[in-house]
């Protein structure tokens, strides 16, 4: 383990959240047993580099310091005073603002979603038109040069944005949003620069012909917009507003970002109900009924915005953006009656889909580990990787269609064959008039159009089995190797694309026994892949139904999702959970691990603990702030201020900094809380946006002041949640998780000892930490 | 206040859950300030009768003792031992059983749902055929006699079932299921007799022509089936099974019942996704992702069962059960494009719908209070009330159509006019051939068919405005006065019926400005009423979409629901919340009330507290069990077994009874835990079904044994959740609610005092209790 390494050069790495530091010897003793075990290919990427409790994690393709969020309501004097004095008008403002924000998030996300679609359709559309035009003139090399050139140029632009401006914008974004909603704040996950790169990087990346989607980035975009609102705008870009101070706490921000994530899905899939369910099932860690209601409002706004824009564009004012811009597949002509043989075929499809889905997750994990080595070397390597994949994708897209044979156009086709214009089922490519190349109509199209082609009904023979097979193989592996490069890249579309192709392939193979339409098979194949990788159920089901607009398919889609998820769950976790773990984000599961039952809270407390008195010397506080990275300190009342040592509460680093900054010190050790209460309002201690608070370096305290005292009572959270040291660790973990705590005090069981044993944070519950301390405990499978 | 009365005749009323009894004087002092205020027409029905913390509540139309459920995992020695020894095969059995149960619940509920539909369609169908046959022969009095006679006979049967066998089966059942899932176990809510009466009472009640639905009862039925499984079958009816012991705890039962509730909605509306969302949004108080997944499986099974049966019946093997049996409205021919004027009309519709919906709730509340006085007088009065309402309903249904004028049949009608057979839009009633009575086609039909008629599209002029107005008035008020009589009566159908009629009326009135189809208006009207009464959003939206099978209506339905819920929320709470409160069920809200911030945990603790030593004398335990109704007792370790007095944990009454029953006593005060651990397994202490555990009277302990000692350590929950006495009550309430506790220990802040201050239960957090103790605190509106 490089743990000692870390101790040596710990100066330059912010040790943000580890409340109880182990001393060197103990570490060695504790870790000697596991050092070898932990060197395997399975643990989070960052364990080796920093420490087990991951105060630093990979976000996007960058290493980034992280901090816990605090969803607890602090009950200190200041807050109580503020609450008592809060006027009705303020409460009304607050409620109004909540709904106004939901509206703005909805409008913003809807707008961005639509803008994204228009831009992609136009950029990719012109690129494809140029290519097919050159091909039809038999200028094949020029066509390839134009196609690959466009792709690489767009890819470089996207990669450069990501590599230089906001590395956190790389990847899907859903794992990061999920982690944020679980209480993990990685600096820059939701920063304005990330938002900017996410929007434009996603447009460029999708236009560049990568096998990536815009759905994950859309969710991240929605969350970023919500965060920007909740953080009180961006001070850097001079976008702030006074009312926004109401939202300067983690709980309200969490609610906003939940709405944002839902809005993202709603905008990406035009699925408002699916968006709400996605936020509920996959993204959010906490949920309440009032939030359901607000989220629903947000997605309704998104739906209305999209509808209005589509209406506007239907008159042809949006360039190449036609009806096909927003994905929406119509399989309503597919029959919804099915026999026993169909059911068996569908179950088989679900099983294989589940297997392929879990394989997808497995491979993505491995690829990400390899890419992380490359990405780590710097921006130029990141861009080089992007270019490599872009070239590979271009070669596949342009090269593979040559394998396919030209097929004669069907005589009864309702659309023109070969296709004229940018999207359609019958791409002529190199074929002569009256013929079409089925592989080209899949490869030389936007991903959305390719999916629409695969979902198309009543066109059983349109694609050859061999063509489907080639396309499936190409898309499956391109999807895997594309995720992890430094561009915003969603996972939904690659999975749906591969799944739809797989489904259509199965449909063709089962033609003789099953009467279901091949378009319907494609839908079910997509469902099986989604179930196998993402492991959602209800939300995927609703999203697919909203996409296809046919509720009669419900039983079949449900069946496939259930089967594929069950099968895939035997092998590994869902892709987002896997990425969260891989990135080293300390995600708290909703349930406690079984081995935690064998331990008590005291067992994972690591010392020494730093405490303050209720009235503490300024120098002591400053020293503690300087020498540790702790974010919370217990405050103890000692005689003469109480009968014996009593736990007064917990004080936060950020609040201490605000208090020290104002220099309300007194020369004597006396209660001066009243004075402080008069000088401050609760808003002065409200949480600033990430990275915006007062820094330790901002303080300027002279030697005389160091000897003075300050009363910590007004800013001490006097009602911290506590557990007795003999509390089962499993139950302590559940308490910690359910209430969304940042610090939990462990108090002694017997009397006559100091009133606090230690403080537990999120990191103390992480399996790596607990199993590191107790290597003899075998993690059981959960019941 | 009758509190003193209660103290006098408290013998015959089981004081189940009040852990700290107030002594008489304190009560008088505390209550003198509020006695008058609390006599208003607003508090729960039972406050006056029992005490503020309602250990007894009205369930159905009966007064019933209630108990809290405990969702905490008890970490005692026995449990730990059991967990360590649990074999892999048992874990596998447990998982298998969970899914098997989900399957059985799905199958059972689907079956019952279908049976219910067939029975209602056949009984009501023959009744209506008989009536219309007599009318067509101009034998009007005979027709009325037959109609009213059938109705009254069916009503008496339903009322008698409810009054004599299972009073808890009266009403919707959703409030009771909601309360159960919140942790309130009213004896007999989910008993097998309730299940029986709910199924048959519902069939009889709906067939009797009451304006009631079968949807609420269906939810209750699903929950009952789940409970029957979870309770390990019914010992009384010799239906038990050994494996079921795995589910002998409240948490697993809660999960099952959540599945059951979802299955009920899925069966009632044929809406599997809607069922899941209903369980999530309205029914459940706790939720986790794994449960979503299992619930989804259950509702998928229901959907498949229903589909199979409908396929079977489509060949005409089910009597009068045609396609119309399960509600499913097809409005797909309605256009989904709309203009600005339409939107304004729809918003107006939503506003008025919200107003009418909240008025509905208000009136139901008043009617229930009046009915409770009648129902209380005994079974015969209950039945008399049922007969009165049945006669009134019959008179309305048969009498009001005479007001309507005969209308000429439309020439372009796609169905036969006048209607032949049992259901259709064009009931001829007293009209001559070629004419139909539009009011009769609404009144003399099952509720499902009436709704279908109202939802029918492309038939703008079919119903006169005056007819719609009369029907709306009749149904609105019949719906209100019918709920609360002693029959199983759902609220969904009355609300949808009144709402659909209202919507169609609005559609007719707006004909000149709005181009939307009147059938679509009817749907939106139903949505506005549902939003106004039930206050659900996402689940109602999805249920309506699944009913109508048209996703393009989504934006309009969402808009109406949002508007009507917002409007109605200004006036009162949702109808189910209101009924829960009215019945005196101690429902824990997810959030803390603002006034709780002004109090600390110590403030609501009421003494004297009864404690046990770790090794306690049998006589002391027995005395405590006899003289109090407490269900949990703190256990204290004293020297020589610990250094000073230490809180060892909490022991449950039911566990004490099991331990005492086996008489493992020792003569000396020694630790005999090991011995006890060898003699028992954790299953011996597993929770029995409600009302089935060992009673105090079952114990037979002689005087000598009274002097002996027993070691309580093995059965003591050694990791109880604790709060410090100075913890804000608001935060304590959130801890209690989020973790689903039954007992919460309040520990002292300063040292040198007894290690426990008191125990808080659900009742100590009830507004009535807290505001009773502190009448000067004004409950603020929540921010």
> pLDDT tens for residues A163-181?
999 988 988 899 999 999 9
Say which residue, A608 or A775, is predicted with more confidence: A775
| d(CA A67, nearest CA chain B) in Å | 24
Q: Which of B617, B620, B693, B692 is nearest to B657 (CA)?
A: B693
- Rounded to whole angstroms, the Cα distance separating B761 from B19 reads 7
Mean pLDDT of chain A: 82
Q: What angle do CA B3, B6, B9 make, to 5 degrees?
A: 160
Q: Does position A680 have pLDDT exceeding 90, yes or no?
A: no
**Across A657-666, average pLDDT:** 84
* Chain A interface, best mutation among B541, B566, B644, B751, by max A CB count within 10 A: B751
Q: What is the DSSP string of B599-654?
A: -BHHHH--S----EESEEEHHHHHHHHHH---SEEEEEE-TTSSSS-EEEEEEEHH
Tell me which residue has tokens 């709730």: B361
Which residues lie closer than 8 Å to B612 by C-beta, 6 or more apart?
B620, B621, B624, B633, B634, B635, B636, B651, B712
A199 close to A146: Cβ distance less than 8 angstroms: no
State residue B107's pLDDT score. Answer: 95
What mean pLDDT value characterizes chain B? 82
Answer whether B197's CB lies under 8 Å from B489's CB. Answer: no
Query: Where does the pLDDT of residue A334 fall: very low under 50, low under 70, confident under 90, or very high at 90 and above?
Result: low
Among A16-30, A624-638, B128-142, the range scoring the smallest mean pLDDT is A16-30
Cα B354–Cα B357–Cα B360 angle in degrees, nearest 5: 155
Q: Write out pLDDT tens, residues B10-66.
A: 333 333 344 433 333 333 333 333 333 334 455 666 544 334 444 677 777 777 777
Which pLDDT score, from 0 to 100, does residue B474 have?
95
Band of pLDDT at residue A51, cut at 50, 70 and 90: very low
Q: How far from chain centre, in Å, is Cα A153?
A: 28
Residues 6+ apart with CB under 8 A from B33: B775, B776
Section A243-266 average pLDDT: 85
Cβ–Cβ gap B552/A549 under 8 Å = yes
In this prediction, residue B699 carries a pLDDT of 83
**3-class DSSP state for residue B427?**
coil
Instruction: Please indicate if any CB of chain A lies within 8 Å of the CB of B749.
Output: yes
- Would the pLDDT of A154 be above 90? yes
Give me A363's structure tokens. Answer: 């491979």
What single DSSP character describes residue B673? H
- Asked if pLDDT for residue A255 goes beyond 70, the answer is yes
**Where residue A48 falls among pLDDT bands split at 50, 70, 90?**
very low
Which residue from B86, B542, B749 is facing A646, i.e. has the nearest CB? Answer: B749
pLDDT digits (tens, 9 = 90+) for A724-773: 998 999 999 999 998 989 999 999 888 778 889 999 998 889 888 888 88
- Indicate the pTM of the whole model: 0.87
First to last CA, chain B: 32
Q: Which residue of A has its CA nearest to B749?
A: A646
The answer to whether B75 touches B719, Cβ cutoff 8 Å, is: yes
Q: Which residues 555-614 on chain B approach chain A with CB closer than 8 angstroms? A: 555, 558-559, 562, 565, 590-591, 594, 597, 600
Closest-CA residue of B relative to A729 is B719
Mean pLDDT, rounded, for B542-564: 82
Q: Which of residues 703-732 of B touch A (CB under 8 A)?
A: 718-719, 721-724, 726-728, 730-731
Contact B756/B762 with Cβ under 8 angstroms? no
pLDDT of residue A34: 36
**What percent of chain A clears pLDDT 70, i.e. is strictly above it?**
83
What's residue B324's pLDDT?
Answer: 47
CA distance B399 to B131: 13
| ipTM > 0.90 for the complex | no
The pLDDT tens digits of the residues spanning B435-472 come to: 888 888 889 888 888 888 888 876 667 788 999 999 99
**Distance (Å, whole) CA A173 – CA A184:** 14
Q: Which residue in B71, B74, B75 has the most chain A C-beta atoms within 10 A of its own C-beta, making it the best mutation to test that interface?
A: B75
pLDDT tens-digit series, residues B659-689: 888 887 888 887 777 777 777 777 677 777 6
Torsion angle (degrees, nearest 10) of CA B696, B702, B704, B708: -20
A100 to chain B, any CB pair closer than 8 A? The answer is no
Q: Reduce the DSSP state of residue A666 to 3 states and report it.
A: strand
**Residue B568 corresponds to which tokens in the numbers above?**
């109605």
Q: Please state, in angstroms and rounded to a whole number, the distance separating the CA atoms of residues B303 and B483.
A: 29
What is the rounded CA–CA span in Å between residue B295 and residue B268? Answer: 16
Kindly write down the DSSP assignment for every residue of A234-279, as one continuous string.
Answer: BTTTTB--GGGGGG-SHHHHHHHHHHHHHHHHHHHHT-HHHHHHHI
pLDDT for the residue numbered A36 = 38
State how far residue A345 is from chain B, nearest Cα, in angstroms: 17
Interface of A with B in 248-307 (CB under 8 A): 272-273, 276-277, 280-281, 287-289, 292-293, 296-297, 300, 303-304, 307
Neighbours of A200 (CB within 10 A): 18
The confidence band for B322, taking pLDDT boundaries of 50, 70 and 90, is low
Label residue A3 by pLDDT band (50, 70, 90): very low
Residue, of A158 and A422, whose pLDDT is higher: A158
User: What's the confidence (pLDDT) of residue B256?
Assistant: 92
Assign A332 a pLDDT band (cuts: 50, 70, 90). Answer: low
**CA–CA distance, B661 with B653 (Å, rounded to integer):** 12
Residue B275, pLDDT score? 92
| Low-confidence winner among A428-442, A699-713, B230-244 (lowest mean pLDDT) | B230-244
Rounded CA separation B633/B653 (Å): 8
pLDDT tens for A734-743 read 999 989 899 9
Q: How far is A132 from chain B (nearest CA, A)?
A: 36
Q: Contact A68/A17 with Cβ under 8 angstroms?
A: yes
* Interface contact A226, partner B, CB < 8 A: no
* Residue B676, CA distances (Å) to A728, B650, B670 in order: 22, 18, 12
Of B80, B590, B600, the CB nearest to A288: B590
Of the ranges A253-262, A462-471, B233-242, which one carries the lowest mean pLDDT score? Answer: B233-242
Q: Tell me the residues of chain A between 177 and 216 that have a Cβ less than 8 Å away from chain B.
A: none
- Give the number of other CB atoms < 10 A from CB of residue A591: 16
Cα→Cα distances B316→A107, A717, B111, B118, B154, Å: 52, 70, 18, 12, 26
CA distance B234 to chain A (A): 27
Backbone angles phi, psi at A349, to 5 degrees: -60, -40
Residue from B271, B227, B324, B37 nearest B690 by CA? B227
Tell whether the model's pLDDT for residue A23 goes beyond 50: no
Residue by residue, DSSP assigns B677-740 as HHH--GGGGSPPSTT-S--GGG----HHHHT-EEE-GGGSBSS--EEETTSBHHHHHHHHHHTT
Confidence of residue B333 (pLDDT cuts 50, 70, 90): low
Range with lowest mean pLDDT among A62-76, A117-131, A648-662: A62-76
Tell me, what's the pLDDT at B235?
58
Of A502-511, A567-576, B314-323, the range with the lowest mean pLDDT is B314-323
**Averaged pLDDT, B143-162:** 94
């Amino acid at each position: 383990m490089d743990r000692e390494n870390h101790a040596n050069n710990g100066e330059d790495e912010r040790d943000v959240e580890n409340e109880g530091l182990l001393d060197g010897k103990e570490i060695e003793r504790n870790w000697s047993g596991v050092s070898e075990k932990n060197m395997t290919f399975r643990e989070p990427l960052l364990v080796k580099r920093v420490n087990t409790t991951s105060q630093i994690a990979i976000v996007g393709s960058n290493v980034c310091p992280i901090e816990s969020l605090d969803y607890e309501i602090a009950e200190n004097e200041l807050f109580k005073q503020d609450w008592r004095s809060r006027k009705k008008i303020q409460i009304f403002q607050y409620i109004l603002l909540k709904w106004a924000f939901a509206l703005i998030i909805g409008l913003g996300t809807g707008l961005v979603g639509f803008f994204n679609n228009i831009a992609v359709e136009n950029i990719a559309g012109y690129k494809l038109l140029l290519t097919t035009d050159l091909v039809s003139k038999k200028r094949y090399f020029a066509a390839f040069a134009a196609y690959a050139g466009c792709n690489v140029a767009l890819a470089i632009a996207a990669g450069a944005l990501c590599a230089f401006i906001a590395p956190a914008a790389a990847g899907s974004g859903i794992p990061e949003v999920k982690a944020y909603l679980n209480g993990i704040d990685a600096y820059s996950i939701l920063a304005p620069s990330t938002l900017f790169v996410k929007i434009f990087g996603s447009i460029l990346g999708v236009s560049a012909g990568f096998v990536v989607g815009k759905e994950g980035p859309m969710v991240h975009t929605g969350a970023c917009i919500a965060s920007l609102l909740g953080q009180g705008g961006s001070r850097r870009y001079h976008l702030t507003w006074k009312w926004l101070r109401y939202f300067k706490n983690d709980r309200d921000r969490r609610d906003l970002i939940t709405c944002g994530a839902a809005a993202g899905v709603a905008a990406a899939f035009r699925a408002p109900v699916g968006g709400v369910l996605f936020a509920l099932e996959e993204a959010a860690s906490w949920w309440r009924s009032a939030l359901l209601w607000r989220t629903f409002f947000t997605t309704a706004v998104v739906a209305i915005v999209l509808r209005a824009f589509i209406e506007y564009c239907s008159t042809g004012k949006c360039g190449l953006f036609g009806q096909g811009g927003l994905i929406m597949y119509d399989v309503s002509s597919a029959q919804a009656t099915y026999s026993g043989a169909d059911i068996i075929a569908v179950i088989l499809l679900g099983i294989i889909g589940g297997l392929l889905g879990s394989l997808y997750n497995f491979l993505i994990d491995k690829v990400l580990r390899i890419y992380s080595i490359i990405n780590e070397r710097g921006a130029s390597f990141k861009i080089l990787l992007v270019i490599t994949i872009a070239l590979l994708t271009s070669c596949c897209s342009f090269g593979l269609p040559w394998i396919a044979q030209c097929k004669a156009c069907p005589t009864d086709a309702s659309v023109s064959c070969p296709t004229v214009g940018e999207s359609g089922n019958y791409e002529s490519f190199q074929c002569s008039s009256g013929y079409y190349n089925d592989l080209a109509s899949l490869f030389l199209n936007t991903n959305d159009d390719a999916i629409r082609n695969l979902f198309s009904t009543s066109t059983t023979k349109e694609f050859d089995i061999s063509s489907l097979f080639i396309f499936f193989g190409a898309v499956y592996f391109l999807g895997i190797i594309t995720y992890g490069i430094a561009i915003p890249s969603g996972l939904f579309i690659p999975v749906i694309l591969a799944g739809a192709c797989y489904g259509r392939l199965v449909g063709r193979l089962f033609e003789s026994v099953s009467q279901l339409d091949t378009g319907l098979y494609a839908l079910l194949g997509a469902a099986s892949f989604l179930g196998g990788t993402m492991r959602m159920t209800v939300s995927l089901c609703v999203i697919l139904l909203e996409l296809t607009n046919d509720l009669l398919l419900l039983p079949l889609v449900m069946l496939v999702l259930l089967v594929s998820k069950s099968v895939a769950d035997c092998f590994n976790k869902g892709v987002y959970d896997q990425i969260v773990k891989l990135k080293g984000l300390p995600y708290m599961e909703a349930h406690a691990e079984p081995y935690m039952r064998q331990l008590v809270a005291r067992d994972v407390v690591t010392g020494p603990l730093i405490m303050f008195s209720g009235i503490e010397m300024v120098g002591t506080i400053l020293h503690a702030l300087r020498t540790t990275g702790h974010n919370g300190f217990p405050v103890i009342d000692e005689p003469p201020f109480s009968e014996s040592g009593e736990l007064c509460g917990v004080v936060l680093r950020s609040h201490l900094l605000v208090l020290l900054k104002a220099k309300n010190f007194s020369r004597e050790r006396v209660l001066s809380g009243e004075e402080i209460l008069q000088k401050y309002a609760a808003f002065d201690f409200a949480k600033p946006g990430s990275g915006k608070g007062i820094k330790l370096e901002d303080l300027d305290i002279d030697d005389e002041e160091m000897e003075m005292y300050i009363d910590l009572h007004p800013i001490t959270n006097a009602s911290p949640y506590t557990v007795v040291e003999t509390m089962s660790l499993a139950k302590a973990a559940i308490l910690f998780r359910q209430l969304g705590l940042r610090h939990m005090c462990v108090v002694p069981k017997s009397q006559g000892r100091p009133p606090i044993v230690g403080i537990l944070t999120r990191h103390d519950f992480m399996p790596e930490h607990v199993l590191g301390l107790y290597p003899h405990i075998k993690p059981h499978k959960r019941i």
